[in-house]
Amino acid sequence: MMNHHPTYVEIDIDAFSHNMLQIRSKVGNETGILAMLKADAYGHGLVRLAEEALKNGAAMIGVGNVEEGIKLRENGISSPILVMVGIFEDEVDRVISHNLSVVIYSYRIVEALSNTAEKKGKDVSIHIKIDTGMGRIGIIPDEVVPFLRKVAELKNISIQGILTHFAVAYEKDSRFTDHQISIFKEIVNRLSGEGFHIPLLHCFNSAAIINYQASHFNFNMVRPGIILYGSLPSYDLKGDLDLKPLMTWKTRIAQLKNTPRGKSLSYGRTYFAPRDSIIATIPVGYADGYSRFLSNRAKVIVKGKRVPQVGRICMDMCMIDVTDVPDVKVGDEVILLGKGGEEEITAEEIAGLMGTISYEIYCMIGKRVPRVYVRKGRVE
Ligand SMILES: *Cc1c(COP(=O)(O)O)cnc(C)c1O
């Protein structure tokens, strides 16, 4: 299919398979992979990446909310899907009719699920979340056993998993994560002492997959997110995984203009040409997720050369200085993120300019920017 949008993101499907294989080889064949595809697969496109994750052996898909789960079902995905953030009572009906599994931290919600499931003659799988130190959703450790005893009384509920989430697994200092792990293990032991047999135990995010060996702890599922997309969870974390970013964000030059030294550009006149320049306008702006915070800071790649973005980034457009690019022409490709020739702009680089993390850069690329999938160098 031809892509007629001047601004789009290419997603490298082979890189995704490669990253899945890297994770598989690290965690081994006995450990299930719960592919974290929340937030539209961190901006990469939920449905398509779910299909690829399952082809590459993912056991389950993690989504950010019920709507994402339903979108997968409506697109023919029949694998287990786990709604990671929990649900509200008015979502119970839709969860059951679409056969979604849910993370649970509230008895009221399980009760509502049980009542509706019984009426519909269905079963619901739940995963119980324990707060071992993240301080976000989850049951506090002392309440886990009584909670499970109560839940076990409810009809049409299947306790399929328990999980916890790490706050600082990316840090070199592992003490807090070790502490979280030991609380989780203690709960797992206590539960089996009470006669509960919970099939799935999971707590490893990307950082823990890199820093620990899941098999050492008998946790039988892992939850990779950012490493699926080829980024590391933090700058200073160096793992043994060989990861490839999936995204190349592209646009084209719309206009070229000779700009005399001293002329100002864009809103606010924050940039004055320091020399006689060739300035190109490109059709990408903050409405596409090219943040205004990047104004006069970001670099882009044109014909294998790194060049600066100049002047305030507008809603739908911005300018770049292409004076040093030989034979530059209207229609030439501009790379905002990803590789171009020998050069590369990483999500980490852009994140560094904005004081944030690669996760946010992937998620902020706008909905109106089409995602185009590439396999073996060919657009599909
Ligand atoms: C997002 C998320 C993950 C994945 O985190 P990464 O750092 O991207 O690997 C795992 N578990 C839970 C509960 C999450 O919300």
Within this chain, do residues 203 and 252 fall inside the same structural domain, yes or no? no
257 and 375 in a common domain: yes
Among candidate residues 229, 263, 283, the one where a domain is terminated: 229
Q: Is residue 236 part of a domain?
A: no
Look at residue 239 in the predicted model and tell me its pLDDT. Answer: 81
Same domain, 187 and 312: no
Which of 8, 26, 38, 71 is labelled catalytic? 38
Q: Is 329 a catalytic residue?
A: no
Residues 254 and 365 in one domain: yes
What was the pLDDT predicted at 104? 98
Give the pTM. 0.96
CATH code at position 62: 3.20.20.10
Q: What angle do CA 22, 137, 354 make, to 5 degrees?
A: 60
298 & 169 share domain: no
Please indicate, yes or no, if residue 172 is contained in any of the structural domains: yes
Q: Is residue 21 part of a domain?
A: no
Instruction: Name the residue range of residue 203's domain.
Output: 31-229
Same domain (yes/no): 177, 222: yes
The pLDDT of residue 137: 96
Does residue 19 line the site of ligand 1, with CB under 6 A?
no
User: What gap in Å lies between CA 185 and CA 217, rounded to an integer?
Assistant: 8
- Answer yes or no: is 179 within a domain: yes
Q: Is residue 51 located within the same domain as residue 121?
A: yes
pLDDT at residue 216 in the model = 66
Answer yes or no: do 339 and 257 share one domain: yes
Q: Which of 40, 44, 84, 361 to mutate to test the pocket of ligand 1 (most atoms within 8 A of CB)?
A: 84
Same domain, 193 and 339: no
Regarding whether 285 and 370 lie in a shared domain, the answer is: yes
Task: Report pLDDT for 237.
Answer: 83
Out of 173, 195, 229, a domain closes at 229
> Is the residue at 5 inside a domain?
no
pLDDT less than 70: residues of the chain? 1-3, 214-217
Please tell me the distance between residue 120's alpha carbon and the centre of ligand 1 in angstroms: 32
The predicted-structure confidence for 261-308, as pLDDT tens digits, reads as follows: 999 999 999 999 999 999 999 999 999 999 999 999 999 999 999 999
From 37, 42, 205, the mutation candidate for ligand 1 (largest count of ligand atoms within 8 A of CB) is 205
Residue 214: inside a domain, yes or no? yes
- pLDDT value of position 240: 85
CB neighbour burial string for 123-152, b if at least 16 within 10 angstroms, e if fewer: bbbbbbbbbbbeeebbbebeebeebbeebe
Same-domain check for residues 61 and 203: yes
What residue's CA is closest to ligand 1, atom 13? 165
Q: Note the pLDDT of residue 68.
A: 98
Task: Identify the residue whose C-alpha is closest to ligand 1 atom 8.
Answer: 225
Q: Provide the domain count of the chain.
A: 2
For 30, the token pair is: 């006995």
CB–CB of 49/15 below 8 Å?
no
Looking at residue 289, which CATH number applies to its domain?
Answer: 2.40.37.10
Structure tokens at 262: 């001293």
Residue nearest to atom 6 of ligand 1 (CA): 225
Is the Cβ atom of 80 under 6 angstroms away from ligand 1?
Answer: no
> 124 C-alpha vs ligand 1 centroid, how far in Å?
23
**Whether residue 165 is found in the same domain as residue 213:** yes
Joined together, the tokens standing for residue 234 give: 């933090």
72 lines ligand 1 (CB under 6 A): no
CA of 252 from ligand 1 middle (Å) equals 34
In a domain, 3, yes or no: no
Is 242 inside any structural domain? no
Q: Is the CB of 154 under 6 A from ligand 1?
A: no
Per residue in 188-201, pLDDT (tens digit) is 999 999 999 999 99
Q: 229, 255, 279 — which closes off a domain?
A: 229
Decide: 43 in ligand 1 pocket, CB within 6 A.
no
C-alpha to C-alpha distances, 290 to 9, 248, 287, 314, 335, nearest whole angstrom:
12, 14, 7, 9, 12
Active site residue 107: no
Containing 190, the helix (H) or strand (E) segment is: helix 175-193
